[in-house]
Each structure stands twice: as structure tokens, then as C-alpha cells.
Amino acid sequence: MFRFKTVSSILFSVAAILVFFVFILHILAPSYQSPNNIVTHSSKRLNRIHFPRLGWVKDKTTSVFIPAESSRQMTEPLINCRENLVTIEQYRSRSVVRGVIVRFPSLKSDYYFVQFRWFYRSWIESEMFTLDRWRTDIIIIIDDKFPNTIRKLLEHLDCHIENQRVSRRQISRCILINHKLFSQQSKTQQQFYIDKYSIFNRVNELDDNIDRLFSIYDYINQLNKTQTNFYDFLMITTMNTFLTTQFGKYIPIKCSFLLGTAPDYSTFYGKSNQISQFIHILLYTLKESNGTQRNLSIDFSSTIEKLKTKFLFLEGQVDISCDSKKTTYRTSIYHLKCYAHSTSLFSERMFREKAYDGYEKEPFNIYIAREYATLMALQSKVMSLDDLHILAVNVTRREVYT
Ligand SMILES: *[C@@H]1O[C@H](CO)[C@@H](O)[C@H](O)[C@H]1NC(C)=O
Ligand SMILES: *[C@@H]1O[C@H](CO)[C@@H](O)[C@H](O)[C@H]1NC(C)=O
Ligand SMILES: *[C@@H]1O[C@H](CO)[C@@H](O)[C@H](O)[C@H]1NC(C)=O
Ligand SMILES: *[C@@H]1O[C@H](CO)[C@@H](O)[C@H](O)[C@H]1NC(C)=O
């Protein structure tokens, strides 16, 4: 009897220790897919205990786990954010409408169409991993000089001007927006912006990068005017990029605003009103880069400085290099970008030189950034536009919800 009691009490103690251990592990383990919870929420709870956040990458050479380069936080987490309490899990059961805006240049459009195909293919992939009530539109801004041949190809992928969203429920879609360059706009339209941004008055033609920002801002303004701004979140980016599978399941929460790579920050991702404010300040703080010459330059650093009490600026989550060996599995990597100089997998240059031809049947791992990029690019090349379109139709189809 006595013995039985001892044994059972030992067993009980062991069980208690195990439960305690599991509890401690539960607290310390980085929570899945919600990096911002970890940055702000948990650190509050644990009072500045530092623990590994974001993903871990297996380093093949040493077979030791090393932490993935954590995203760089550019501002204090002590920003005033009204939405601090809404978690990513809550968003996942809600309706969310996102737009990914790219500007498709009229010059060298054949060249850019190659990028567009893989970008479109990656959008389909991210749609495979997204949530029932989430929608993500690709919004392509073109101008009056856009070549008809490329436009026909885009229409083949069901990217149309008529596709503009008219309700939140419509399935994810690809939308063409015809936007006039600043120099091609009517005098009254120009005056509207000159009154707002007096520096516009001093240039005849805006620099390409500034015109891109201007057209995006003007587009958001028009959505506002016609009360058709259904977009909760917007990503502004270029086409030499890939949306990852994680992008399908993630939106920036708690006032976070994701920035791509300095100094040109060609990608940024946040709530629509944040995007609007950000571009407004970018246009407002345009600088004359040279006293004598009439050149304007974009001043990201003072814009970031001005907004740092309202936005939680985060780097290292979008514009991850497409030759990176980082994992995108349960990490906060939402978007990859190809840099022109790279020659290691995935290299845009080598892809164009056909160096990867015939490798599309390789067992690429979609959770490794560089392999994912390679697979998406190769598939976008070997698939016909019809097949790409059919795949998009299949994947974006959703059950009707109430
Ligand atoms: C559009 O509307 C939002 C919300 O009312 C506002 O924050 C934003 O500044 C507006 N954007 C433009 C470009 O007018
Ligand atoms: C102004 O222009 C000159 C000549 O083009 C250039 O050398 C100089 O770096 C420019 N200054 C700035 C501040 O951009
Ligand atoms: C100013 O703009 C002109 C024309 O766009 C360009 O050729 C020149 O290099 C620019 N100068 C500077 C200093 O950026
Ligand atoms: C699209 O869906 C149909 C019917 O579900 C299926 O037969 C077809 O193979 C799918 N096509 C692609 C490209 O996935």
C-alpha cells in the first residue's frame, strides 16, 4: 500500500513537472505567423525577455540552426495605435480586401512582361494559401502610350479595365488602370495637384519614380472620390517580385507598415489610409536635388521620420532577395524581389539567358525563397497564357459566403 502510494506520488510529481515544462515552453515558443504579436504583444507580457522571434533557417553547411535575420524595426513599438487589440487570427475570420499595385512601364514592355508573368504566377500561388474571406487584386497602372500588343496579352490573363471591383465579395481579380502621366493631364487636373504640391509647378515632366507615386496617389484619390475604395490594405511594388505563400495569410497588423529595401523603397505595404498618407508626405516633401537644376528627388527618410509616431515601420519582410536561402515557412517573409546584379539562383539575368530551362520538373521546395522564385518563374514561362489564366480561375474561385 505504502509502496503504491510512493509510486503514484512520484508519477504525479513527474506529471506535474512535465505540465509545468510544457507551459514554460508554450510561453517561450515564438507563436506561429504573427510576428507582430511577438514584437509588441508578447514582449509586453514578458517584460522585455528576449527570445528568438521569426523563423529559423537550417544552415546546410554546419547543420546548426541559426536564426533567420530578424526583421529590422525602425521605430519604437510605443506608437499610438488604435488597432492594437485586433490579432491576425481575428482578421483571418473577417473579410479582408487587398490590392497589390504595380506600374507597368510603356517602354520596354516586352521585357517587363516576362516579370509580370512570374509575378502573376506567384499571385496565384499566394491565393492557394489564402483565407476564404480574403481577396487580393492585382492592380496594374498603365499610361496612354502603353502598347496594344502587351495589353492584349494582359487581357488574355483576364486583366481588364472593366474588372474594377464593385463589391467586397467579388473574387480576387486583375485590374488594369489607365492613368495619364502628370504631363498628359489636363490643366485643371494639373492645377489641383500644383495647389497641393507647389513643387510640381517647377517641373515640366516628373521623373519616372515620382510619376509612379503620383499616379498611385491619384488612383487612390479617385477611388475615394467615387466611394469605391474597397481596399483595406495596399501593397505598392514593382514586377520583378514574387508574392510568397505567407503573403496569402498575412496582413500588417497593429499599425505596422512594411518597407522594402532602402534607399529606394520600391515596395511598401500597409493599410490603405497609411499608404495614402505615406505617399502624400512623399510628394509633399519632394526635394530639389540640385539647386540649379530642376530635378526632384524623393525623400524617404524625412517621410519616415514624420510618420514614426503613427506607423510601426518594419523592414526585412518584403523585398527579400530572390536568391536568398531563407525559408518562407512560418516566417515573416511575404514578398521577394530580384536584384539585377545577382548571378546566383534565382537570378533574373540567368533566367533570361535560359540557364534554367528544362529544370521546371525539379522538386523545388516552395518554402525556400530562391527555389520558390525559380519554380514560379519557370512555370510562368512554360505555361501558356491560357493555362495560367485557367489556373488563376480555379484558384481564385471561392464558395459564396454570407
Ligand atoms: C482616401 O480616404 C482615406 C480615408 O478617408 C484618407 O485617409 C486618405 O487620405 C484618402 N486618400 C486620398 C488620396 O485622398
Ligand atoms: C548637382 O549636380 C551636379 C552635376 O550634375 C552633381 O555633381 C552634384 O552631385 C549634384 N548635387 C546634388 C546634391 O545632387
Ligand atoms: C536632372 O534631370 C535630367 C533630365 O531628367 C538628367 O539628365 C540629369 O542627370 C539630372 N541631374 C541630376 C543632378 O540628377
Ligand atoms: C481547373 O478545375 C477543373 C475542374 O475542377 C479541373 O478539371 C482542371 O484540371 C483545373 N485546371 C487547372 C489548370 O488546375
Look at residue 73 in the predicted model and tell me its pLDDT: 63
Summarize pLDDT for 217-260 with one digit per residue, the tens.
Answer: 999 999 999 988 999 999 999 999 999 999 999 999 999 999 99
Strand partners, 176: 140
Residue whose C-alpha is closest to residue 260's, from 310, 307, 313, 326: 313
* Centre of ligand 2 from the C-alpha of residue 286, in Å: 16
131: which residues sit within 8 A by CB, 6+ positions away? 92, 96, 248, 249
Query: In the CATH scheme, what is the homologous superfamily, with its name and number, of domain 88-396?
Result: Spore Coat Polysaccharide Biosynthesis Protein SpsA; Chain A (3.90.550.10)
Nearest-atom index, ligand 3, CA of 294: 1
Q: Is 266 helix (H, G, I), strand (E, B) or coil?
A: coil
Question: Can you give the residue ranges of every domain in the chain?
Answer: 88-396
Look at residue 79 in the predicted model and tell me its pLDDT: 77
pLDDT over 90 for what percent of the chain? Answer: 64
Please indicate whether residue 276, judged by its CB atom, sits closer than 6 Å to ligand 1. Answer: yes
Counting every residue written for the chain, the total comes to 402
Summarize pLDDT for 167-187 with one digit per residue, the tens.
Answer: 999 999 999 999 998 888 888
Cβ atoms of 165 and 396 closer than 8 Å: no
* Average pLDDT value over all residues in the chain: 84
Give per-residue burial for 227-246: e unless 16+ CB within 10 Å, then b. Answer: eebbbbbbbbbbbbbbbbbb
C-alpha cell at 206: 516628373
Of 183, 210, 295, best ligand 3 pocket probe by most atoms within 8 Å of the beta carbon? 295
Look at residue 81 in the predicted model and tell me its pLDDT: 81
Look at residue 30 in the predicted model and tell me its pLDDT: 40
Nearest-atom index, ligand 1, CA of 277: 9
Look at residue 205 in the predicted model and tell me its pLDDT: 76
* Centre of ligand 3 from the C-alpha of residue 107, in Å: 19
Confidence class of residue 214 from pLDDT cuts 50, 70 and 90? very high
Q: Which ligand has an atom closest to residue 397 CA?
A: 4
Cβ atoms of 370 and 346 closer than 8 Å: yes
Give the DSSP per-residue string, 33-65: T-HHIIIIIIHHHTTS-----S-EEEETTTTEE
Q: Is 159 helix (H, G, I), strand (E, B) or coil?
A: strand
Q: Whose CA is nearest to atom 3 of ligand 1?
A: 273
36: which residues sit within 8 A by CB, 6+ positions away? 88, 252, 253, 254, 256, 312
Please indicate whether residue 93, judged by its CB atom, sits closer than 6 Å to ligand 1. Answer: no
Measured distance CA(31)–CA(204) in Å, rounded: 52
Of 128, 379, 393, 394, best ligand 4 pocket probe by most atoms within 8 Å of the beta carbon? 394
Q: Whose CA is nearest to atom 1 of ligand 3?
A: 295
Give per-residue burial for 174-192: e unless 16+ CB within 10 Å, then b. Answer: bbbbebebbeebeeeeeee
Measured distance CA(42)–CA(49) in Å, rounded: 9
pLDDT over 70 for what percent of the chain? Answer: 79
Q: Is 292 left (phi over 0), alpha (psi -120 to 50) or beta?
A: alpha
Of 290, 295, 298, best ligand 2 pocket probe by most atoms within 8 Å of the beta carbon? 290
Summarize pLDDT for 67-76 with one digit per residue, the tens.
Answer: 444 556 665 5
Q: What is the pTM (predicted TM-score) of this model? A: 0.80
Q: Which ligand has an atom closest to residue 234 CA?
A: 1
Confidence class of residue 14 from pLDDT cuts 50, 70 and 90? low
